[in-house]
Amino acid sequence: MYERILIPIDGSEAAENAIPHALDLAETYGAGLYTVSVVDTDEADENEAREAMFDEFEAQSQEMVEDVIQRAEERNIRTTAGSIAEGKPHRAILDYADIRDIDLIVMGTHGRGGIRYPLRRSVTEKVVRRAMVPVVCVRLGKGEEVGERGNGDEN
């Protein structure tokens, strides 16, 4: 059913919480796991600032990507080298999914606090509304702040 599963990561608790679900789905379906981190470079006005922001994000993202790849390989899940993209996060995620023929996207719903541009609910909502493939939204579980959990309509 699924051959290529994408997990966007940003270092947030919500994105981290979605990783085990992506791993389980990849293992269940024998799918390959793809990872992408997105830096919102639209926030930088000057080329030098944009480049510095991307360089900083790239270094931090590489560690996150390597962690996901290691976790997947420990479970004998096929992986690809993780990617670091730039631009508007929802658009970069959708473009990545389209270019690589992704079958399923798995992402956290409350990615607040990640590096540079967290995968906030607004990003997740934009991906859900515009994706041409199914999107699994993983909520934060125990330990989330009261009032963060919606009524279930976000999924």
> Is 152 within the bounds of a domain?
no
> Which CATH number is 109's domain given?
3.40.50.620
Q: What is the pLDDT along the chain (155 residues), one digit of tens a residue?
A: 899 999 999 888 888 999 999 999 999 999 999 999 887 766 656 677 767 777 777 788 888 888 999 999 999 999 887 888 888 889 999 999 999 999 999 999 864 444 544 455 478 889 999 999 999 999 876 554 433 434 344 43
Tally of domains in the chain: 1
Domain that holds residue 11: 7-138
> What are residue 8's DSSP bridge partners?
36
Sheet of 4-8: strands edge to edge?
83-86, 32-39, 4-8, 104-108, 135-138
Q: How far is CA 12 from CA 49, 64, 73, 78, in A?
A: 23, 10, 22, 24
> Is 153 within the bounds of a domain?
no
